Amino acid sequence: MKIEIITPDKTIFAGEGKLVQLPGLDGLFAILQNHAPLIASLKAGKVKIIDNSDVVAYYDITSGVVEVKENHVLVLVE
Amino acid sequence: MANLKEVRSRIESVNSTKQITSAMKMVSASKLRKAQNAIHNMRPYAEKLSEIMQHVSTSLGKSTVSVYTRQRVPEKVLIVAIASNRGLSGPFNANVAKEAMQHIGQNYLTQFKAGQVEIYTIGKKVFDFLKARKIDVAHRNDTLLDDLSMDNVKPLAQTLLKEFAEEKYDRIDIIYNQFKNAAVQVLTIEQLLPVAPQESDSTFTPEKSEDYYIFEPSKEEILHELIPKALTIKFYKALLDSAASEHGARMTAMHKATDNADELIKSLRLSYNKARQAAITSEILEIVGGAEALK
């Protein structure tokens, strides 16, 4: 699935991945392949991405929102 | 005929001025590119954010009322005038200040007379301009423009949102130069708060999105989170636009100054050559006259 992480100043991640773990307002949740369409608010925490070659990357965020549709994960963070 | 030495020193001084203006033009050009990049980098975020917002709000229907969208009678008004800290950029700064005065005169005259209009200046030059015209500036911020980034803009935007929510102001307008291209800036007045009601375009039907998305935690809460973000971005965009416009305006002004210097040098050189020729002619006449007398 396609993952994009965008901040107001730049795009910090754009590419293919297997898993995205996000700090939702009500707790951590993860998005895998073929997830149902979703819009969720995020709180401060770490975003974890595992890309197709199993490389794990973390990004710190203070707040944000995520939209998932048709295997496209769009994370807007600050 | 002008004095030879006088003309020569004038040519020299115009020449050095020209060097300065053309150097300033170069500097502005490179700063402009940087500012344009910043706008370019911010654009995807702004676009996606408004897309998501639209998805949420269309599925919520028209019933949403947030603190920021509620229209109030504008009794207390805040005008945010965005310009720059530095001069030598043509009419860039003065235009913003003049527009602010005109805007108040046209729309908020009664509030202004009652002392209910406050002005927030961003950039030294607008402040100076308004102060020189004996207009009270309630707040000023001169440091923001030195290092324009989301981290710096956010606290200010949040303060404005908070003060609006607490009804310290009923309306917040921003005045800034919108960036069209390097030569064209469009002076713009935008209503920041309350959020102006707008017709949502119907490309995304509510029926579809109603069940389409899962909302986490809830639509209302997401919208509640998103509105301040969108407003912050709007404010940030205005600042970035203004910064790019400033460099564009300065570039144009310096370009014109360089051209003018070129012209001035040309005409000075002409009169210098004329003076020189006249001096030579009169010298020859003297010699010939002297030789003639010796005969």
Q: What percentage of chain B carries pLDDT values higher than 90?
A: 48
Could you list the residue range(s) of the whole structural domain that residue A72 is in?
2-77
Note the pLDDT tens digit of each residue in A46-66: 999 999 999 999 999 998 999
Note the pLDDT tens digit of each residue in B93-124: 999 999 999 999 998 988 888 888 999 999 99
Phi and psi angles of residue B69, each rounded to the nearest 5 degrees, phi first: -100, -15
* B32 contacts B125 by C-beta, under 8 angstroms: no
Distance of CA A8 to the CA centre of its chain: 15
**Helix (H, G, I), strand (E, B), or coil: what is residue B204?**
coil
Residue B196, pLDDT > 80, answer no
Is B229–A40 a contact, with Cβ atoms under 8 angstroms apart? no
Go through the domains of chain B in sequence order and give each one's CATH number.
4-26+253-289 (1.10.287.80), 35-249 (3.40.1380.10)
The contacts of residue A36 (CB under 8 Å, 6+ apart) are A68, B214
Q: What was the ipTM of the complex prediction?
A: 0.86
Q: Which two tokens stand for residue A26?
A: 């009500």
Looking at residue B21, what is its pLDDT? 95
**Chain B partners of A67 at a C-beta cutoff of 8 Å?**
48, 51-52, 55, 213
The contacts of residue B259 (CB under 8 Å, 6+ apart) are none
Looking at residue B150, what is its pLDDT? 85
**Chain B partners of A24 at a C-beta cutoff of 8 Å?**
216-217
**Chain B partners of A36 at a C-beta cutoff of 8 Å?**
214
Q: Does B222 touch chain A (CB under 8 A)?
A: yes
Note the pLDDT tens digit of each residue in B241-283: 999 999 999 999 999 999 999 999 999 999 999 999 999 999 9
Interface test with A, best of B48, B50, B58 (most A CBs within 10 A): B48
Is A69–B44 a contact, with Cβ atoms under 8 angstroms apart? no
Query: What CATH number has the domain bearing residue A12?
Result: 2.60.15.10
Q: State the DSSP code for B201.
A: P
Is A37–B236 a contact, with Cβ atoms under 8 angstroms apart? no
**Chain A partners of B48 at a C-beta cutoff of 8 Å?**
6, 67, 74, 76
The angle that helices B219-294 and B92-107 make with each other, rounded to 10 degrees, is: 130
Total of domains in chain A: 1
The contacts of residue B128 (CB under 8 Å, 6+ apart) are none
B71 against A50, higher pLDDT: A50
The contacts of residue B206 (CB under 8 Å, 6+ apart) are B58, B59, B61
Statement: the pTM of the whole predicted model exceeds 0.90: no
Looking at residue B148, what is its pLDDT? 85
Note the pLDDT tens digit of each residue in A9-44: 888 999 999 999 999 988 899 999 999 999 999 999
